[in-house]
Structure 1
Amino acid sequence: MSPKQQRGEETADRLLDAALQVYAESGEQGVTVGALTKTSGVSLGSLYHHFGSVDGLMNALLLRWLGRLLAEMAASVERSRTARTGIRSLVRAYLKFIKENPDGARLLHSSYADRLGMAQARQLRDAQEARLSPMTDWMQRHVDSGEVAPLPMPLIEGLVLGPVVATARRWLAGFDDVDLDQAARVLPERIWRSLVP
């Protein structure tokens, strides 16, 4: 990588880091050109050069955090030999990620992410295909072996992630009736039972 390319990547990273900081401190409405350039120390021209717009920057930030979450989830199932241990590991990895990365997790579970997801679902899925395929393939092997109920993959995804996402959203919203450690102990087995043939 040339020094110019390296500087370009560093600038893009500074902008992405600044965008998350501004989003965490001020919410979606606070993510303005002025706030981003002030927090990052990067010029307006550089922001537009790297991302095209504030929306382009926020989309890239969302993809960055989605990629990180999916990487953690994929790694959790790759280390598992059975469907049961894989589901347990995946649920725990998701909840651990939320607890360790609350700012990124708030973005991933935000109304902004929901709007983008509804508008660009196929593009988002295609952009993350390399991370999604191993998890889908892993699950399909366990469906084929009879270890997991023969349901359509979107329903399996809903059974596994639905309770986890709902719990994460509640915790991220600041409700004090949600304990992620307790959820990590209780949810994996309950979710597994929903998948048993």
Structure 2
Amino acid sequence: MARMGSKQHRGEVTVERILDAALRAYLAEGESGFTVTAVLDLSGVSTGSLYHHFGSLQGLRTALAERWTGALIVEMTNALQRHDNARDAVHALVGAYLRFVLDNRDAALFLHMADTDRETMARGRELRDLQEARLSPLAQWAREGIASGELADLPLPLIESLLLAPVVGTARRWLSGIHDMDLTEAARILPERIWLSISADPATARG
């Protein structure tokens, strides 16, 4: 049993090493730099080890996207669940997203790259199913907010878009190198603006 545990631990360490190297390779040269050779050079693992754990270069890229998408969703979900009222939850979620971008700039840059967006669209239903499962706490939060009268009675995908699209757009603009905004300032301004767009009663939403 101890040997199995040690073997499993080594495998986990190898996976993390490959994923870290993949992120560095992708950010160094973009799509053209994301090659097996580059990942092997940066990670120091064998070709067989890479294919054993990920199956292919595409499998590695998918795993990298899922790793960081999952980490971001955990941060957002935790932010939502720390607050009983919808307005405070919105403020917390926006802050969590932008802090993630600041604290994990390289990973956030990968997640917001056009190449990653295209892959998400190309994989279509498969990724949508995965994301819907992970985002179920957000859907549940929205349903509860509508039922309690805090959130506008809108389709759940529209609430999600109104909640996340401004934050994603702000993050993408900052990550692109257009530093005409400060993310800390955005974290102060955006939440209330977003809240007004999904509140059941915008006229009194500030109350």
Match of residue 98 from structure 1: 101
C-alpha separation between the residues in 1 aligned to 2:116 and 2:28? 17
Q: Following the alignment from structure 1 to structure 2, what is the Cα–Cα distance between the partners of residues 138 and 80? A: 11
1:146 to 146, 149, 153: 149
Out of 147, 166, 169, the residue aligned to residue 169 of structure 2 is: 166
**C-alpha distance in structure 2 between counterparts of 1:76 and 1:187, whole Å:** 16
What is the CA distance between 1:109 and its match in structure 2? 0.6
1:56 partnered with 2:48: no
| Cα deviation digits, residues 30-51 of structure 1 (max 9, x gap) | 0111110010000011111111
Q: Secondary structure, in 3 states, of the residue corresponding to 2:135? A: helix
Tell me what 1:86 maps to.
Answer: 89
Structure 2: tracts of 5 or more residues without a match: 201-207
Q: CA deviation at 1:131?
A: 3.1
CA shift, 1:113, in A, is 1.5
- Aligned pairs (5 A) from 1:1-197: 2-197=5-200
Superposition deviation, residue 130 in structure 1: 4.7
CA displacement 1:75-114 (0-9 Å, x = unmatched): 0000011000001111111011011111100111111211
1:71 Cα offset (Å): 0.2
Structure 1 unaligned spans of 5+: none
Q: TM-score, normalised to structure 1's length?
A: 0.96
Residue 128 (structure 1) shift: 4.0
- Paired residues in the alignment total 197
Matching residue's letter, 1:74? T
Higher RCO, Cα 8 Å, sep 6+: 1
RMSD value, Cα? 1.2
Q: Give 1:5 shift.
A: 1.8
Instruction: State how far apart, in whole Å, the 1-side matches of 2:179 and 2:132 are.
Output: 35
Instruction: Supply the distance in 2 between the matched residues of 1:166 and 1:129 (Cα, whole angstroms).
Output: 21
Distance in 2 (alpha carbons) for counterparts of 1:112 and 1:44: 24
Runs of 4+ more than 6 Å apart: none
Distance of 1:38 and 1:118 partners within structure 2:
30
Q: Distance in 1 between matches of 2:22 and 2:191?
A: 33
Q: Is the 8 A contact 1:91 1:188 kept in 2?
A: yes
Tell me, in whole angstroms, the C-alpha distance in 1 between the residues paired with 2:17 and 2:125: 28
C-alpha displacement at 1:147, in angstroms?
0.5
CA contact (8 A) 1:74 1:131 kept: no
CA displacement at 1:164 relative to structure 2: 0.6
Shift of 1:150: 0.4
Using the size of structure 2 for normalisation, the TM-score is 0.91
